[in-house]
């Protein structure tokens, strides 16, 4: 379907084109080019971290992060069910077990008060997400992780640039996973990264990313015999992708500012409806609005979604509960009940949100929702 207003659009400019074109015209180093390390260093600096390793996707990055920990097969990793399915799949990819946590209603993130009820001697990792660009209650979650000597990995795929006070998400945990997929705040089409302060983990991640190959120079520019010291994969990011990431990162704060202004405007047009719960900044948490997700009460969500579709306005459900998906329902041995997650997933509806969204676009969205509400 050709949407009048899609869910997202990527903001690009001549500088994006120039940086990628320069790599192409160079005619070499399309892989392992100097842009890789530059992008990694820029991301580490942006988050106030020591190291960063980029990957070909956020999913590869999360898989590599868990592989770097050498977890035992019996290990348990606590994740929210209200997330993209990759978060829950990562534990299974390394032979561990995902344990699903309930979420809270202020940030739609992992509920710190629920963790005591699901922790066990096998629990090794906490992996909360920052939903839709809103920081979760990561300070409370970090305190719980420290009390129980757990590794804390932030799934920051949706929250690059969001903050709690002056501290960015992605800088609270032992590691943080980033995504640069096309709908993200910092898009490169595909791509991901792991932010980390441990040099030991950093070196492991580089081995995992590139065939377990230990080498001090560009593999494609040396006749040095490589030393393969561990099992690894081909999860490298291309030089063109990194170049685009560098360009996008240079204007990230401006793009975030546009998102926040658009979110504020759209909220002002919809705040009269008692049956719509709007996204908001919780306390000193500052969202980047990677998603603009409203909650529609009284079982009206699906009807509103169909109404908007007929108007040519794309909306989408982010997210259905992972524990109720066909795969997990079939393969989990125990029945899981997460009432808040299930209630919110039945209400959630993500509306279009991107930096270049115009007031005319937002007026059309809000007028359409107003029209729907007037029919009730």
SS (H, E, C) 188-226: CECCEEEEECCHHHHHHHHHHHECCEECCCCHHHCCCCC
* pLDDT given at position 155: 98
Distance (Å) of CA 175 to CA 54, 164, 172, 287: 13, 17, 8, 20
CA distances from 115 to 110, 149, 271 (A): 9, 14, 33
Are 80 and 336 in contact by the 8 Å Cβ rule? The answer is no
Kindly state the helix (H) or strand (E) to which residue 356 belongs, with its residue range.
Answer: none
Q: What is the C-alpha end-to-end distance of the chain, expressed in Å?
A: 27
Predicted pLDDT at 189:
97
Give the domains, in start order, of the chain with CATH numbers: 14-250 (3.40.640.10), 252-374 (3.90.1150.10)
Tens-digit pLDDT string for the chain (376 aa): 899 999 999 999 999 999 999 999 999 999 999 999 999 999 999 999 999 999 999 999 999 999 999 999 999 999 999 999 999 999 999 999 999 999 999 999 999 999 999 999 999 999 999 999 999 999 999 999 999 999 999 999 999 999 999 999 999 999 999 999 999 999 999 999 999 999 999 999 999 999 999 877 788 888 888 899 999 999 999 999 999 999 999 999 999 999 999 999 999 999 999 999 999 999 999 999 999 999 999 999 999 999 999 999 999 999 999 999 999 999 887 889 999 999 999 999 999 999 999 999 999 999 999 999 999 8
Instruction: Tell me how far apart the alpha carbons of residues 56 and 237 are, in angstroms, rounded to a whole number.
Output: 4
Q: What are 197's two structure tokens?
A: 């302060």
d(Cα 55, Cα 36) in Å, to the nearest integer?
A: 10
Long-range (24+ apart) CB contacts under 8 A made by 162-165 are: 162/130, 162/133, 162/134, 162/135, 162/285, 162/286, 162/287, 162/288, 163/135, 163/285, 163/286, 164/135, 164/138, 164/139, 164/284, 164/285, 164/286, 165/284
Which helix (H) or strand (E) segment is 101 a member of?
Answer: strand 97-101
> For residue 218, what pLDDT is reported?
84
- Which residues, at least 6 apart from 360, have a Cβ–Cβ distance to it below 8 Å? none
Q: How many residues does the chain have?
A: 376
Q: Which tokens hold the place of 342?
A: 């299930």
User: What contacts 117, CB < 8 A, 6 or more positions away?
Assistant: none
Give the DSSP letter of residue 275.
Answer: T
The pLDDT of residue 332: 84
Amino acid 220: pLDDT: 82
pTM for this entry: 0.97
| Alpha helix positions (H), the chain | 14-26, 34-47, 58-67, 85-93, 138-147, 199-209, 239-250, 252-270, 301-311, 326-331, 339-347, 359-374
Backbone region of residue 191 per phi and psi (left: phi > 0; alpha: psi in -120 to 50; beta: other values): left
The predicted pLDDT at position 158 comes to 98
Alpha-carbon dihedral sign for residues 105, 106, 108, 113? negative
Give the Cα separation of 263 and 366 in Å (integer): 12
Q: Which two tokens stand for residue 168?
A: 């960015």
């Amino acid at each position: 379907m050709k949407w009048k207003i899609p869910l997202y659009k990527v903001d690009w400019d001549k500088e994006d084109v120039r940086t990628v074109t320069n790599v192409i015209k160079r005619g070499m180093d399309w892989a392992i080019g100097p842009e890789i390390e530059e992008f990694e260093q820029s991301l580490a600096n942006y988050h106030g971290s020591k190291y960063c390793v980029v990957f070909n996707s956020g999913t590869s990055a999360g898989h590599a992060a868990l592989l770097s920990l050498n977890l035992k097969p019996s290990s348990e990793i606590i994740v929210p069910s209200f997330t993209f399915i990759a978060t829950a799949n990562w534990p299974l990819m390394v032979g561990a077990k995902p344990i699903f946590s309930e979420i809270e209603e202020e940030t739609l993130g992992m509920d710190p008060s629920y963790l005591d009820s699901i922790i066990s001697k096998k629990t090794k990792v906490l992996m909360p997400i920052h939903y839709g660009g809103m920081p979760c209650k990561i300070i409370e979650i970090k305190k719980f992780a420290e009390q129980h000597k757990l590794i804390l990995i932030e799934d920051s795929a949706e929250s690059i640039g969001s903050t709690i006070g002056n501290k960015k998400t992605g800088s609270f945990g032992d590691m943080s996973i980033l995504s640069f997929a096309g709908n993200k705040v910092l898009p490169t089409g595909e791509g991901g990264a792991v932010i980390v302060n441990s040099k030991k983990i950093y070196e492991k991640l580089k081995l995992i990313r590139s065939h377990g190959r230990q080498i001090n120079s560009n593999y494609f520019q040396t006749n040095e015999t490589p030393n393969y010291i561990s099992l690894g994969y081909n999860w490298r990011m291309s030089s063109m992708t990194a170049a685009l990431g560098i360009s996008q990162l240079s204007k990230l704060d401006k793009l975030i500012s546009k998102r926040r202004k658009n979110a504020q405007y759209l909220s002002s047009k919809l705040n009269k409806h008692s049956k719509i719960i709007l996204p908001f900044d919780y306390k000193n948490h500052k969202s980047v609005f990677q998603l603009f997700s409203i909650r529609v009460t009284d079982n009206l969500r699906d009807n509103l979604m169909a109404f908007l579709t007929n108007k040519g306005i794309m909306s989408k459900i982010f997210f259905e509960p992972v524990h109720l998906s066909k795969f997990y329902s079939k393969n989990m041995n125990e029945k899981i009940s997460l009432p808040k997650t299930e209630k919110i997933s039945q209400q959630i509806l993500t509306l279009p949100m991107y930096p270049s969204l115009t007031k005319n676009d937002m007026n059309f969205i809000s007028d359409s929702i107003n029209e729907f509400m007037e029919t009730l």
